[in-house]
Structure 1
Amino acid sequence: MDFSTPIMIIGLVAVMLALRVPVGFTLLISGTLGFAMSRGLDSTLQTLGARFYDIGSGYSLSAVPLFLLMGHMAIASGVTDDMFKAARTFVGHIKGSLVLATTFAAVGFAACSGSTTSTTAIFGKVALPEMMRVGVDRRLAAGCIATVGTLAGMIPPSVVLLVYGIIAQESIPRLFIAGIVPGLLTALAFGIMIYVRVMRKPELAPALPPSTRAEKIDAVKSVWAAILLAFIVIGGIYLGVFTPTEAGAMGAAGAFLIALFRGRVTIDAMKNVFIETSKTTSVIFIIMVGALIFTSYLAVSGTSGAVSAWIVGLEVNPGVLVILYLVFMLILGLFIDPISVMFLTVPIFLPPLVRLGLDPIWIGILVTKSLEIGLITPPIGLNAFVLKSVSPGFSFKEIYGGIWWFLQVELIVLAILFSFPELTTWLPDLMYGG
């Protein structure tokens, strides 16, 4: 079989990405050109039409804008500020003070957001100034903010896991539930690292005076609605009460009600919520269309099948193949956002790994974790640029210097999840309906 055309098209993708052409348009142009060269213009136009229809009519895809809407509505309702204040109230007196508070608050907000970059940006605005005010080390503070946003990529309702489920045609509820233990394990590992570092060097994060009982009660009152909403959404998915799309609708409606009762529903606020949701949804859907065209071309050209047959035919332990795939994800994650990388690689590499007997849910968690690590890995680390954009007073040297400690923890957690697949699979196996 002649693979000269597919090789040329893949080379075109590499060149366009190097020229910083948006990923969605890169895949759309390359895939369309490949189709036209191999199948003719009529077949190409029919394929384009079918893929646009698939994106527009897919029921499961409607969960994407709904969960994004939930996250932006939660930001508008002010729950981020309240979660940070509540976490500060309960753990501010512990060694690590506001750094620990930020980490635990990020877990709560991740359950209402699902967006890594949004979590990083909002905590850069909310938590970072407060840390600077009480004298937290600049590197530790910047590293914490840039890193804890990745928790939203794992803790449901993670948009990245949702997209993986759509691409891999795997159960999205099982993926969501599979992300709970890895997400909490990551947050716990962050907390231990922060506590140990501050215990050895207390000046890194001065402890705050203990909060009074009244302050703790007020803190609980300020966040109970958001926590209840997260439990309803995640619990509804776990028990099989809601589909992911229905859970997204419930979450968006609940976040709106929280904003309404708090008096945060204004014309300007709602306009901003829907504009931001529309922008993010549009970007994701353009990537989806481009990726579907590109992967369809690879399929009809025989490239995907050839790669799959080659991987299956290797006389290598499947675990080694997974490690190589994760290293590839770590590298790509430096330069490209997680959703784009998934669309580029999962349709090609997942089928042969599944044929070798590996659990696609476990692989999905490992891939997501690897891509989230890529977001904080120097010399690129997209989350570092997000933090720099909202906190221009910080240098990249300070941000990357702080990230280094968290990056080590992330790699250790990835190794643990790889070595003990049961940490990922046991909770989904307990779900309603298996």
Structure 2
Amino acid sequence: MEWYEVGLGLLGLLMLLIGLGLPIPFALAAASLPFLWQIQSFDTSIVSAELKLWGVWIDYILLAVPLFVFLGELIGRSRIGPNLYQFLHQGVRVRGSAAYGSIGACAGFGAVCGSSMVGSLTIGGVALPEMLRLGYGKKLSSGVLAAGGTLSVLLPPSLILLFYGIVTDQSIGDLFIAGVIPGLILVTAFCMVVLIWGIVRPEDIPGNESSAKMGLIQIAATIGPIAAIGLVITVAIYAGIATPTEAAAVAALLTVILAFGVGGLTWQGFKDALFATMRTMGYLGLLLSAGVLFGFVLTYYRVPHQFTELFLSFDLSPYVVLMIVLAFYILLGMFLEPVSMTFITLPTIYPLMAAAGFDLIWFGVVYTITMEIAVLTPPVGLNLYVIQGIGRGKVSIGDVISGCLPFIAALVLLIVILILFPETALWLPEQMR
């Protein structure tokens, strides 16, 4: 079969199966098998599928995924995350402190957990009712928390950057540290959005916010756990003391101790965190395995290589190629979630970006930002529905979408900055080397 027949056949069959309601991991595997049978017998293809499944579950690098997921679940079920929001809200004595505190808490949470949805759920569960009680506008309250979750996947550690590194065979450490400066710029941009929002719509931000000050012991118990976990992860990886997997393991153990010691975690909460991690990894494990099988079929038929050659034959400017790819991902992100997009499309897209002359570490950061725009765009914007669910009828999905628009503009602006000044993402990794 010709490569384009395989590529179109895989894509068409995959979209058909997803449209019929088949879960994405099973759709990926089912779309791959007919083309696998063209090169292997039925019995051999079953063995190949089993080997791909087993290979994912025993991959040393991938062990970091359940560890970071478990770490995030522990923080979400203890008081560590909510306490961070309360500290930032009560400690920042300015108009709009709850909104700025939400951004800061999401950024702090992002320094220890790489999941956008978990970040929005953990901080939003505490911040949204409090902001509505204080008199903040529904659109601002929901928008800042839905968008704030995106900071969790740009500031290291990031599950999307981790998956990107696995698919593209790039250094996980370099990818993590490349996200630091763009992440800090995004925090600043989100704060500017809140500031401008307060000027344009002053009725959405109350003038006075009644909140009690925290004592020194409370402050230490609030900042200490997040700082300790974040330092273990960053110092261990960037100082070359440990691999990302080893750093995740030590950080997860430290989180267990801190969650019980100062976070008020109960045994029931601990068990819930374990079961939630297993449920998440059950889905992710199948998705990773099916994605590897899908990628194997693509690679065997040389679809990525031939697609890259075809695209380059049009002699387009590298930046035109980049714009087409980004537009493709933003459109696709309206219907698929980021992890699925990563394993379905990246095996074909990243060789094209490399051939166009773009640094793959830099593109990893741009790609991650694009994925975070995807979680804020309907109809399949995960963060939108998380915040709407937390609102318990007080916030509509329209409020959340409208509230996210200025923050999406900030994400787009960050992509423009990265395109104009690639050193924004590449300078820090170069210095670390």
Cα contact 1:73–1:255 (8 A) shared by 2: yes
Cα contact 2:70–2:252 (8 A) shared by 1: yes
**Pairing 1:55-134 to 2, within 5 Å after superposition:** 55-91=56-92, 93-134=93-134
Matches of 1:153 and 1:297 in 2, distance apart?
A: 29
Residue range with higher mean Cα deviation, 324-333 or 6-15: 6-15
Report the CA distance between 1:318 and its aligned residue: 1.4
Which runs of 5 or more residues in structure 2 are unaligned? none
Deviation string, structure 1 residues 322-347 (Cα, Å, up to 9, x no partner): 12111111111121111110111111
What's the counterpart of residue 285 of structure 1?
285
What's the counterpart of residue 276 of structure 1?
276
SS of the aligned residue for 2:418 comes to helix
Q: Note if 1:223 corresponds to 2:206.
A: no
Residue range with higher mean Cα deviation, 376-385 or 210-219: 210-219
Matches of 2:178 and 2:250 in 1, distance apart?
A: 21
Number of aligned residues? 431
Taking a change above 3 Å as real, the CA distance of residues 373 and 139 of structure 1, as seen in their structure-2 partners, is same
What's the counterpart of residue 249 of structure 1?
249
Report the CA distance between 1:76 and its aligned residue: 2.4
What's the counterpart of residue 305 of structure 1?
305
Report the CA distance between 1:321 and its aligned residue: 1.0
What's the counterpart of residue 21 of structure 1?
22
Cα contact 2:137–2:204 (8 A) shared by 1: yes
Deviation string, structure 1 residues 276-334 (Cα, Å, up to 9, x no partner): 11111121111111111111111212322211221233311212211211111111112
Matches of 2:382 and 2:312 in 1, distance apart?
A: 34
**Pairing 1:15-414 to 2, within 5 Å after superposition:** 15-91=16-92, 93-208=93-208, 215=215, 218-262=218-262, 264-393=264-393, 394-414=395-415
Report the CA distance between 1:358 and its aligned residue: 1.5
Taking a change above 3 Å as real, the CA distance of residues 111 and 31 of structure 1, as seen in their structure-2 partners, is same
Report the CA distance between 1:382 and its aligned residue: 2.2
The Cα RMSD (Å) is: 1.9
Matches of 1:392 and 1:199 in 2, distance apart?
A: 29
Report the CA distance between 1:211 and its aligned residue: 7.4
Cα contact 2:143–2:407 (8 A) shared by 1: yes
Which runs of 5 or more residues in structure 1 are unaligned? none
Cα contact 2:170–2:360 (8 A) shared by 1: yes
Report the CA distance between 1:217 and its aligned residue: 6.5
SS of the aligned residue for 2:38 comes to helix
Taking a change above 3 Å as real, the CA distance of residues 24 and 403 of structure 1, as seen in their structure-2 partners, is same
Identity among equivalent positions (%) equals: 29
SS of the aligned residue for 2:125 comes to helix
Matches of 1:326 and 1:265 in 2, distance apart?
A: 42
Deviation string, structure 1 residues 24-80 (Cα, Å, up to 9, x no partner): 111011112220134331331232132123212211010101111111112223111
Q: What letter is aligned with 1:161?
A: L
Report the CA distance between 1:156 and its aligned residue: 0.9
Matches of 1:208 and 1:223 in 2, distance apart?
A: 25
When normalised by structure 2's length, the TM-score is 0.94
Report the CA distance between 1:7 and its aligned residue: 2.5
Residue range with higher mean Cα deviation, 106-115 or 304-313: 304-313
Q: What letter is aligned with 2:99?
A: V
Matches of 1:335 and 1:205 in 2, distance apart?
A: 33
Cα contact 2:90–2:213 (8 A) shared by 1: no
Taking a change above 3 Å as real, the CA distance of residues 20 and 187 of structure 1, as seen in their structure-2 partners, is farther
Taking a change above 3 Å as real, the CA distance of residues 214 and 363 of structure 1, as seen in their structure-2 partners, is closer
Q: What letter is aligned with 1:417?
A: L
Taking a change above 3 Å as real, the CA distance of residues 387 and 214 of structure 1, as seen in their structure-2 partners, is closer
